[in-house]
Structure 1
Amino acid sequence: MFPDRKFSSLKRGALLASAIALALAALPAASRAEVREMRLRAGTSQSDQHPDYLGFKKFAELVSEKSGGKIKISVAPGATLGTDVQMQANLQAGTQDFMSGSPVTMAGQIPEVSVLDLPYVFRSTEEYDKLMDGVVGARFNELMAQKGWIGLGFTNNGFRETTTKTKPITKWEDFQGLKIRAIQNPMYLELFSTLGANPTPLPVSEIYTALETGTVEAQENPLPQIVFMRLFEVQKYLSLTNHSLNSVVMLVGKPTWEKLNDDEKKIISEAAREVTLYKRDLVKSKTGEWLESVKKAGVTVNEISPAERERFAEKVKPVVEKFSAQVGKDFSDMYFSELKKIQSGAN
């Protein structure tokens, strides 16, 4: 008896469909029809030698690789697309796709970000990384999403240090009367005022000239900025005050994110996670090298003794308390509770 031709045909069709489905499932996401060709833009205010830029270049390479070359990302360094605040607005408007910058510059829209840079809170960069990989980072992602930004990962550029022209900083009293450039952020301005300094808010692009002309005699930044902005040419001392951690966040604008399908979002998310880990390792591995380059340039480097660091922390405690209170008790309690768990080894 011959088999039913119709049944055989249907069976063969079903088997063929199954084979195709299995083959498609085995293919990388880049080869699937769901991933479309697109050109996206990323920006950072840092130079093309800075970890923020290098991280973005790595991100662009990974996205291109994972998408089979379909998704291309151009990266603009040196504030080409604007300051951090301007780029944040670009992302909200959909005129720019990605950026990397300091979360503290979002304080006007998200007051809670101020706690990230509070002085003498973190003892190591590892504490920060663990905190931002947990419920605290998740909460910040929720707050950013409400304002039109999707968080792709938190990194840092190490601790902020102080450079001066006339004398090193060895104790908090050395800040008294010092004309220092500070971030245009209420917490930083109050921090240096509390130490007795005269903080002057200036954009990053004006720091070198301000130091060169004597408009200010000191500034504070993490080592990558000090090195790549060549501030060692106009400063004589580098004091490792480690007064706050320089947090960084990588963002994609919500308008861009909502245009992506699930496969494209997966590619972006996976690449971003890889780059987050890459950049954290990069900063840690390069810190010693950056420090040596400053010394070779003729700058005198000094550390702050543990006893003096405790005196610094005690002096600026009112700043920590004031800005912690401003973000609300619930958020502040959650933030410091999670940090305490990490510092006690509970996490």
Structure 2
Amino acid sequence: MKKILTSLALAISLAATPVWAETTLRVAHNAADGNPKAEASLLFAKLVEEKTDGRIKVEVGGNAQFGDDAEAITSMRLGAIAFSANSQGTTSSVVPEFALLGLPFLFSNQQDAWRVLDGTAGDKLSELAAQKGLVVLAYWDNGIRHVSNNVRPITKPSELAGIKLRTPPDTMTVDIFQTLGANPTPMAFSELYIALQQGVVDGQENPLANIYSSKLYEVQKYISFTGHKYEATPFLASKIVWDRLSQDDQAAIREAAKEAGDFNRKTFVEQETQLRAEMEAAGVMFNDVEHSAFVAATQPVYEKWKKDYPELVSLLVRESTQSQ
């Protein structure tokens, strides 16, 4: 809360700044240095300054320096922080429809997800976000997610039974792992390393880039290629701050967010093979899973979410199938 109040004071002072003066805006994210999200945020800051001829500078607060994802969204809705490379799960706490992007096995690869996000479904989600005071500038990537744990290799759904698995505070992910028989435990990402180290939870689920950059592999024995869901990184702007900007600056910032997002997406995909090799060298054991068994076991998740969002679930399923 102290971080939010401090940021709010900064936002109030910026509101009184003459439009011709140099302005510094903040972007928040929770990723560790070297993560594609962190690197893309730094690139975004550089591009904004270049494209606005130095009128707008962007201060990047990584590793939850400006608050975790939930705090960042609250700050943006108050106009206290300008931007956030946020998480799909946390965004869904404000715009529930974002959770649908994580329907189990909806996308077979990241490229299919990007085509859907850059199309009708992404536009619909952006409209819904705007109604909640959040402007979607781009859909960055947060990878295909896999399960890691310290109990045993996971090859089939039944082997998740009894495993205490950290999930984001995201209802879709919780539903997936409850359906699979695990014990999902929502927890902020910033608390995860210590929780794994101390045995508070047995495992977690993330793409390899996040597992590596936050050094989770140091406290995990097994990584199983479940590929159970995709996650985007919605790159968001505060509508309060956004509406104060000129049309030219808005166009420049959107362009910067898109270019940084293209870099983010490319980097996420490129890292997969390299990171596996490095973690194997550190002693982590990798294994494949019985994919069809996981797909069949998670079908009840679709039935549950179709009841609340029939049109959007149908749109996502249709567009994901067309992109394959």
Determine if the TM-score, normalized by the shorter chain, exceeds 0.5: yes
The range that moved more, 140-149 or 64-73, is 64-73
Q: CA RMSD in A?
A: 1.4
On the 8 A contact 1:35/1:67 being kept in 2, the answer is: no
Q: How far off is 1:36 after superposition?
A: 5.2
Tell me the CA shift for residue 290 of structure 1.
1.5
Q: State which of 274, 289, 297 in structure 2 corresponds to 1:289.
A: 274
Q: Unmatched 5+ residue regions in structure 1?
A: 1-33
Is the contact between residue 76 and residue 238 of structure 2 (CA under 8 Å) also seen in structure 1?
yes
> What percentage of aligned pairs have identical amino acids?
34
2:293 is matched by which residue type in structure 1? R
Tell me whether 1:323 sits opposite 2:269 in the alignment.
no
Q: Aligned partners of 2:115 and 2:245: how far apart in 1?
A: 29
Deviations 1:266-325 (A, max 9, x none): 111111111121111111111212211211111011122xxx201100001001221232
Q: Deviations over 1:16-49 (max 9, x none)?
A: xxxxxxxxxxxxxxxxxx9752111111011122
Distance change >3 Å, CA 268–CA 234, structure 1 → 2 = same
| CA–CA distance in structure 1, aligned partners of residues 94 and 193 of structure 2 | 29
Aligned pair partner of 1:310 in 262, 281, 292: 292
* One of 160, 163, 171 as aligned partner of 1:175: 160
| 1:50 and 2:31 matched | no
Q: State TM-score, norm by structure 1.
A: 0.85
Q: Does 1:241 align with 2:226?
A: yes
1:123-166 CA-partner distances (Å, limit 9, x unpaired):
01011000011111111110111111111111222211111113
1:1-347 matched pairs, under 5 angstroms: 37-304=22-289, 308-327=290-309, 329-343=310-324
Contact kept in structure 2, 1:170 and 1:303, CA below 8 Å? yes
* 8 Å Cα contact 2:141/2:261 also seen in 1: no
- SS of the equivalent of 2:228 reads coil
Whole-Å separation in 1 of the counterparts to 2:76 and 2:241: 8
Does structure 2 retain, via aligned residues, the 8 Å contact 1:46–1:79?
yes
**Aligned partner of residue 242 in structure 1, secondary structure:** strand
TM-score (norm 2): 0.91
Structure 2 gap segments, 5+ residues each:
1-18
Distance 1:43 1:186 in 2: 23
Secondary structure of 1:80 counterpart? coil
Cα distance in 2 between the residues matched to 1:64 and 1:109: 30
